Amino acid sequence: LDWNTVAGFLGSPLAYPGFAIINMLVGFVLYIYVVIPISYWSNFYDAKKFPLISSHTFDSTGTPYNVSRILNDATFDIDMDAYNNYSKLYLSITFAFDYGLCFATLTATISHVFLFHGKTINQMWRKTTDALKEQAGDVHTRIMKRNYEQVPVWWSITILFLMTIMALICCEGFDKQLQLPWWGVLLSLTIALVFTLPIGVIQATTNQQAGLNVITELIIGYLYPGKPLANVAFKTYGYISMSQALGFLQDFKLGHYMKIPPKSMFIVQLVATLVSSSVYFMTAWWLLTTIPNICDESMLPEGSP
């Protein structure tokens, strides 16, 4: 077998504990070979009207949803009258269950962390003294403290403050093209802050990260309906902020074990973030401005990726 193929999509199976692999395997079998077939062939909620597996959206007739019929081209708002006159939005049975399981995953994450790790988290939160830090530190922590200076807290606070201000400017400025109001930015960051700890605990013990993409879509869709760009922006600030924070911690943990100076790790991470985000933005802008109909699959040449 080609190891690159084995580990290319889900990562190396060697990095997962045995109980996590078994849990995922059992869940996969039940989901794909039991729940989905029964739901589809019993025509649960007209499941047979739509493809068995698809990430696309559909109208009530089973054809791909024509977003242009409900979207105001001038403001990028959803015309609710046009929506009501056209069709509700439908998903394939697999995609619908996938969304439902995302909600269940977050609920289970919070419950599990509260029941199994809540006492420890509470103790560490209430007793954050230098003496406790010395007692709780393992051999790696003691070596790092003895040989390297720690990253000052004000570095992180400064970056948090500056990035929050920039996010507010992006959403409130530029004629408010992103549609997301200032309170949406702050709410999304609050969601990321609240979920970083419980999801981080699960990721640290199972190497699996639950996503906030679905819950953030639901929250802003309920609070601020009819604004698709606001929905995407809210999801980005709420979900990606949490995901990037855990990625940052993961890299720091690796540097911790490899005995890399914390300040050097911090600076390298910061520079890499600036470079990569700039390259991503320029690449996306170039693709959107040079490839005709890039957002319409039906109008792209056959065989396009």
Q: What HEC string does 160-222 produce?
A: HHHHHHHHHHHHHCHHHCCCCCHHHHHHHHHHHHHHHHHHHHHHHHHCCCCCCHHHHHHHHHH
Q: Per residue, what are the HEC states of 120-175?
A: HHHHHHHCCCHHHHHHHCCHHHHHHHHHCCCCCHHHHHHHHHHHHHHHHHHHHCHH
The closest alpha carbon to 179, from 221, 216, 213, 211, belongs to 221
Predicted TM-score (pTM) of this structure? 0.87
pLDDT of residue 84: 92
pLDDT of residue 8: 66
Question: What residues does each domain of the chain span?
Answer: 11-91, 136-285
- One-letter amino acid identity for 107? T
Taking only the tens place, the pLDDT of each residue in 146-173 is: 888 989 999 999 999 999 999 999 999 9
- CA–CA gap between residue 89 and residue 58 (Å, rounded): 6
The closest alpha carbon to 200, from 262, 109, 98, belongs to 109
pLDDT of residue 138: 72
The two tokens of residue 196 are 């970083």
pLDDT of residue 232: 94
The closest alpha carbon to 51, from 13, 92, 97, belongs to 92
Which regions in the chain score pLDDT beneath 70?
1, 8-10, 127-137, 305
pLDDT of residue 10: 63
- CA–CA gap between residue 160 and residue 179 (Å, rounded): 22
The closest alpha carbon to 117, from 198, 220, 226, 55, belongs to 198
pLDDT of residue 128: 62
The closest alpha carbon to 178, from 145, 142, 224, belongs to 224
- CA–CA gap between residue 201 and residue 18 (Å, rounded): 17
- Cα dihedral: 73, 78, 84, 88 (round 10): 110
Portion of the chain with pLDDT greater than 90, in percent: 64
